[in-house]
Structure 1
């Protein structure tokens, strides 16, 4: 619901964050979005791996959350 202050969201709300929208966690030249931060960022992927959580490789973030809920029966 657009509550996480990603660089993408801050740009859309006209905050003065400069022109660099790259992900700060992984340092890759990929725009920092919610989808990237939770599912595609190389830093976050290592964090999920340490927690022994794997995500499906296809689908949007809603599909991925549904998958995780099914695995952990929540």
Structure 2
């Protein structure tokens, strides 16, 4: 719902953030999007691992969350 101010979203809204859209958490040359931050970022993956949560590798963010809900009902 564009509530998280990712670098990708800020660019679309014409904020002056420069030309570098790389993820600040993992410092890889990957555009910082909601999907990347929550599901693909190496930093986020380490955080999820500490919580014993692993995400599927395919699907949109809504499908991934629904799948996790069925696997871990708590």
Tell me the TM-score range normalised by the shorter chain. Answer: over 0.9
Task: Give the superposition deviation at 1:72.
Answer: 2.4
Task: Give the superposition deviation at 1:63.
Answer: 1.2
Question: Which aligned segments of 4 or more residues in structure 1 are displaced greater than 2 angstroms?
Answer: none
Give yes or no for the alignment of 1:23 onto 2:9: no
Aligned to 2:38: 38
Structure 2: 5+ residue runs without aligned partners? Answer: none
Task: Give the superposition deviation at 1:14.
Answer: 0.4
Task: Give the superposition deviation at 1:15.
Answer: 0.4
Structure 1: 5+ residue runs without aligned partners? Answer: none
Aligned mates of 1:32, 1:6 — CA distance in 2: 6
TM-score, normalization by structure 1: 0.94
Range with greater deviation from structure 2 (2-11 or 64-73): 64-73
- Secondary structure at the aligned position of 1:52 is classed as coil
Task: Give the superposition deviation at 1:59.
Answer: 1.2
TM-score, normalization by structure 2: 0.94
Q: CA RMSD for the aligned pairs?
A: 1.0
Range with greater deviation from structure 2 (4-13 or 52-61): 52-61
Aligned to 2:9: 9
